[in-house]
Amino acid sequence: MRVKRRIIAAATVGTVLGLLALPLAAMGAGATQSVETFTEQTSWFGPDACSDSTITGTGTQSGTNYITTTDNGSVHVRTDIQGSVDLYQANGPGPWDPQPGAFIGSWTYTTSISDQAPPDGAGSTTGKSSGTLTFPDGSTAKRQLIFHLTWDTAGNPPKLFFVKFVCAGA
């Protein structure tokens, strides 16, 4: 049993070290890396599992993009965001004119996005936003949305789109 655990441990350490070496190997193959920071106004619109209504709101977020571009034209981006937004019931006809109504609450969130784009424009984008929604009475809930898009070649609509809204503790 002890020998089997040593083999598993050695294989695990080898895998981890191999994965750590991948960015270094990519850098040796002509990849460039850059970092960009930003602060921006953001608009939210869509279903809200915590209030069981369609919400809208405008807030502020800031974040960092970690960008790797390979010599074959592929781009890999990881984005980390922190933000907050006051959410309102959306009374308008749609996202083009949401008309804020009753105040739902203030949401403070973090977002993590991963975008993989090979040279042909296909690829995928995956992300998760989660944080605490504070209602007007001071109670709180955890609000989360998860999404994934699989892109077709450049200029075509996505092949797959998935989004899930979750609320815990409301």
Side by side, which strands form the sheet with 160-168?
Answer: 32-48, 53-69, 75-90, 100-117, 123-134, 140-151, 160-168
- Token readout for 115 is 């975008």
Is a pLDDT exceeding 90 seen at residue 9?
no
Q: What is the pLDDT of residues 16-28, one digit of tens each?
A: 333 333 444 444 4
Instruction: State the pLDDT at residue 30.
Output: 80
**Confidence (pLDDT) at 162:** 87
Both tokens of residue 125?
């984008």
Average pLDDT score over residue span 71-92: 94
Local confidence band at 161 (pLDDT 50, 70, 90 cut-offs)? confident
Is 50 exceeded by the pLDDT of residue 155?
yes
Provide the token pair at 170: 């409301």
